Amino acid sequence: MRGAILIFAITTVFAASLQAAEPRIQGAWHCFDKNHEGELDVTLTFGSDGHLDTRLELAFEESQIEIRGVVRARSTYELLPSGVLKDKTLTKELVSLTADGFDIKNHSDTKELQEFLLAEDDTPTKVVSLTQNSMSLASYGDTIACQRTSD
C-alpha cells in the first residue's frame, strides 16, 4: 500500500512538472507573412479565460492600387488535443480600409471586399508547432510563423 502511494505521488509530481514545462498558447503573438499576393500582419492575444483578441492588417495591390485593411475581432477559442485551434467569433469590426492612402471604408464599390473581410471563417486552423517563443499556424494550405511578444 505504501509503495502504491509513493508511486502515485511520484507520478503526480512528474506529470505536473511536464505540464508546467509544456509550451502554452496563452499570451500575445505577432504573425507575419509576405508573398506575391501581399502582406499579412496579425497580432493574436490568447487569454487564459478562453478569449482571443485578433488584429489583422493586410496589404495587397489591385490594378496597381495599394489596398490596406485593418480588422479587429474578439472570439472564444479552444486548442484541441489534435492541434486544431477552434474559435467562435463574438465581434468583428473593419477598423480601416484605404486605397493608395485614401479612406474607402464607406465607399459603395468596396462592399464586396468589406463583406469578405468581415465574413465568418469556418476553416480550421492547425497549430503545426508550438514552443515557448514561436508558433506556426496552418490554414487554407498556407503556414504563417508567429513569435511570442509577451506572456
Predicted confidence at residue 151, as pLDDT, reads 84
Return the domain boundaries, the chain: 25-150
Predicted confidence at residue 20, as pLDDT, reads 38
Give tens-digit pLDDT for 46-73: 999 999 999 999 999 999 999 999 999 9
Of the candidates 80, 81, 66, 71, the residue with the CA atom closest to the CA atom of residue 121: 71
Q: Is residue 77 within 8 Å of 56, Cβ to Cβ?
A: no
CATH 1.10.1660 fits 25-150, yes or no: no
For residue 44, the tally of other CB atoms under 10 A from its CB is 21
User: What pTM was estimated for this model as a whole?
Assistant: 0.80
Q: Is residue 29 within 8 Å of 149, Cβ to Cβ?
A: yes
Predicted confidence at residue 58, as pLDDT, reads 95
Give tens-digit pLDDT for 12-48: 333 333 333 457 999 999 999 998 889 999 999 999 9
Predicted confidence at residue 76, as pLDDT, reads 95
Q: Is residue 65 within 8 Å of 100, Cβ to Cβ?
A: yes
Give tens-digit pLDDT for 71-124: 999 999 999 999 999 999 999 999 999 999 999 998 888 999 999 899 888 788
Predicted confidence at residue 80, as pLDDT, reads 93
Q: Name which residue leads in pLDDT, 112 or 8.
A: 112
Predicted confidence at residue 22, as pLDDT, reads 57
Instruction: With residue 35 as reference, give the H or E element that holds it.
Output: strand 27-35
